Amino acid sequence: MDVTTLLIILLVGTFATYFSGDKWAPKVALLVGITAFASAICLLNQYNLGNEISYTKLWIAKPKIYLAFQADGLALAMLLLTTALTPIIIFSSFGNTYKNSKAFYALIVFMSFAMSGTFLASDGLLYYIFWELALIPIYFIALIWGNGDAEERKKAVVKFFIYTLAGSLFMLIAFIYLQTKAGSFLISDLTQLKLSSTEQFWIFLAFFLAYAIKIPLIPFHTWQAKVYQKAPTVGTMLLSGIMLKMGLYSVIRWQLPIAPLAAKEYMYVFIGLGIAGVIYGSIVALRQKDLKKLLAYSSLAHVGLIAAGAYTLTLDGLRGAVLQMIAHGFVVVGLFFVAEIIYRRYETRKIAEMGGIRAQTPKFTSMFMLLVLASVALPSTFNFVGEFTVLFSLSQVNIWFAIFGGTTIILGAYYMLKMFQHVMLGETNTKLFADVTFNEGLTLVIIIAVLFFFGLYPKPIMTLITPSLENILTQINRFN
């Protein structure tokens, strides 16, 4: 099985979804998603058998651009995350009806395609193309199927698009510059470059702009909350579950190995920025009135920690970051789905208008609670594994980073429990809250199962990603 097969499945799936018509589109999309997941599993299997999973073909001769894909452990982990979340996300939307749903689902599948491509591409320009391509479907999803006032939505979404595009264009310049030095965009060439530290600094900065906006790190996060709020929940899930990870993945895959000197020299600054994001995001989340916005800020806090972990340039930091990326991907999708479940019943996202749901639906409450617990990184959840590793790596750099970064477990608990209390607890709500449907329950159960399984037994993922991360570390340390 070829690495491109998966991409082809998704691409063909996009068209298949679109042409299957409004009625069948959701099911076809789900099928495509599951097929993609299955093929990702096949790839994993091959990888575990020790096969090199790569594909390289010259695409454009001058400047040299290759159609190059390579799936190492890290890429596979992210690929699995993407392809696993895509069907979940699609499935989670079955409770809603969307006008022109064929386009809607086609865009979702296409986005999955683009994101998978981003994770797989091993040619800088190809990677950049996928990176940009992923932006377009989410733009339309948020714009057309979003909620709230059309004008405000437009403002938020356009800002998001322009902002992220702005960042990534500087990355393009960096890539082009690197290409003039290395002769090709292939990552294997780029990571062998011995650039001067000034060059590295600027290249690092250009990359940083792209990633800081995408991830997002403070103070580049201003697009996030509004877009999360305005986008349809499916879009929010795609954004927060997978797309944020593109930025973090890219930091590990591209930014650090290409410009390690700068990364080392300014390590404290970037870790500090990540941790500032943790504290800032948590504090802002405390007083949010809108459930989705609260989750957005919580996401900001979590990715801040992940980024800080990645910038430590230690194996632990990288590994923790990847683990936490995957964990956060699942948990955030689950939480947004919870918000959606509530919205389907109460048609509101204002926390003040909720409350007293627990008495009506114990099942839902338990699942929500479990997700909240995972989100606050209770030991035995996947998130704890990631958070522990990241914090440990931070403590290796400087104990104060661990202390300040660690405030996430306090503040995180604070805002999540506060939210849970106001959403679920209290006197029984007068409005009827129908119990979760089978579909909804199934979605949540899958997510929770994943979170707890890997929380107790993260080893498969660790063994999957560790060799690749060690490779990356050798690349990072090539100047020593």
Partner 1 sequence: MNTLIAISGLGVLCLLFEIFNFRKAIVPVTIIGLLAILGLTYAEFNAPASFYNNMIVVSKFSAVFSALFIVLTVFLIALSHDFYEDHQTKISDFIAIKIFMLAGAVAMVSFGNLAMFFLGIEVLSISLYILAASNRLNVKSNEAGMKYFLMGSFASGIILFGICFIYGAMGSFDVAEITEWSRSAELPIWFPIGITLVTIGMLFKIAAVPFHFWAPDVYEGSPTLTTTTMSTLVKVVAIATLYKLLTAMNADLSDTYINIIIVISIASMTVGNIMALKQNNVKRMLAFSGISHAGFMLMTLLNISNSAGNLLYYTTAYSLSGIAAFAVILYVCKNKNNEDIANFNGLGKNNPLMAAVLTASLLSMAGIPIFAGFFAKMFLFTQTIEAGYLIVVIAAVINSIISVGYYFKLILAMYNKEANEEATKTPFVLYAVAIVSILLNIVLGLFPSVVLDLLG
Partner 2 sequence: MNTNLVLVLLLAPFLGFLFNVFLGKKAGKNIVGIVGTLSVAISFAVTLYLFASAGQEPVVLNLFDWISVQRFDISFGFLIDQLSILWLLFVTGIGSLIHLYSISYMHDDEKMHSFFAYLNLFIFFMITLVIGSNLLMMFIGWEGVGLCSYLLIGFWYKNQDFNDAAKKAFIMNRIGDLGFLIGIFIVGTLFNTLDFTTLKTTITTATDINDFWIAAAALALFIGACGKSAQIPLYTWLPDAMAGPTPVSALIHAATMVTAGIFMLTRLNFLFDMAPSVQNIIAIVGACTALVAATIALVQNDIKKVLAYSTVSQLGLMFLALGLGAYEIAVFHVITHAFFKACLFLGSGSVIHGLHGEQDMRRMGGLKKAMPITFITMLIAALAISGIFPLAGFWSKDEILMTAFHKNPTLWVIGSIASIMTAFYMFRLIYLTFFNSFRGTEEQKNHLHESPSLITLPLIILAILSFFGGIISLPGHSWLNEYLSPLFSKASHEAHSLGSTEYMLMAIATIGAIIGIGIAYKKYLKDNTIPTEDAEITGLTKVLYNKYYVDEAYDVIFVKPINVLSNYFRDSVETTLSALVFGLGKVTTRFALEGKKVHNGSVGLYLFAFVIGIIAILTYLFLQQFFT
Chain positions contacting partner 1, by CB under 8 A: 59-63, 103, 125, 128-129, 132-133, 135-136, 140, 143-144, 150, 153-154, 158, 161-162, 165-166, 169-170, 172-173, 176-177, 179-180
- C-alpha 415/C-alpha 335 separation (Å) is 14
Give the three-class secondary structure for 194: coil
Burial of residue 180 (CB within 10 Å: 0-12, 13-18, 19+) is exposed
Asked whether position 245 contacts partner 2 by CB under 8 A, the answer is no
Shortest reach from residue 468's CB to partner 2, in Å: 15
Residue 274 makes contact with partner 2 by CB under 8 A: no
Query: Whose Cβ is closer to partner 1: residue 118's or residue 389's?
Result: 118
The tokens for 41 are 């599993």
389 is an interface residue for partner 2 by CB under 8 A: yes
For partner 2, which residue of 163, 266, 270, 337 counts as binding (CB under 8 A)? 163
From partner 1, partner 2, none, which one binds at residue 428 (CB under 5 to 8 Å depending on kind)?
Answer: partner 2
> CA 372, CA 378: separation in Å to the nearest integer?
9
User: x/- site string to partner 2, residues 305 to 344, per CB under 8 A?
Assistant: ---------xxx--x-------------------------
End-to-end CA distance of the chain: 39
- 27 three-state secondary structure: helix
Q: Are 67 and 55 in contact (CB under 8 A)?
A: yes
Q: Is 228 in the site for partner 2 (CB under 8 A)?
A: no
Q: For the chain, how long is the longest CA-to-CA vector?
A: 69
Residue 292 binds: one of partner 2, partner 1, none (C-beta under 5 to 8 A by kind): none
User: Which residue in 152, 457, 460, 467 binds partner 2 (CB under 8 A)?
Assistant: 457
Reference 135, options 167, 177, 91, 99; nearest CA is 167
CA distances from 41 to 6, 12, 90, 215, 218 (A): 10, 19, 19, 27, 35
Is 154 near partner 2 (CB under 8 A)? no
What is the closest distance, in whole angstroms, from the C-beta atom of residue 46 to partner 2 in the complex?
Answer: 24
Is there a contact between 131 and 29 (Cβ–Cβ < 8 Å)?
no
Pick 160 or 454: Cβ nearer partner 1: 160
Strands (DSSP E) contained in 237-314 are none
Shortest separation between residue 314's beta carbon and partner 2, angstroms: 7
What per-residue string of b and e applies to 306-345 under the rule 16 or more CB within 10 Å gives b? bbbbbbbbbebbbbbbbbbbbbbbbbbbbbbbbbbbbbeb
C-alpha radius of gyration, the chain, whole number: 21
For the CB of residue 237, give the shortest distance to partner 2 in the complex, in Å. 23
Q: How far is the CB of 408 from partner 2 (least distance, A)?
A: 9
Alpha-carbon span 336 to 93, nearest angstrom: 11
Choose between 184 and 288: whose C-beta lies nearer to partner 2: 288
- Nearest distance in Å: CB 386, partner 2: 10
Residues that bind partner 2 (CB under 8 A): 159, 162-163, 219, 221-223, 225-226, 280, 283-288, 314-316, 319, 356, 358-359, 362, 366, 373, 378-380, 385, 388-389, 391-393, 395-396, 399, 402-403, 406-407, 409-410, 413-414, 417-418, 421, 424-428, 456-459, 462, 466
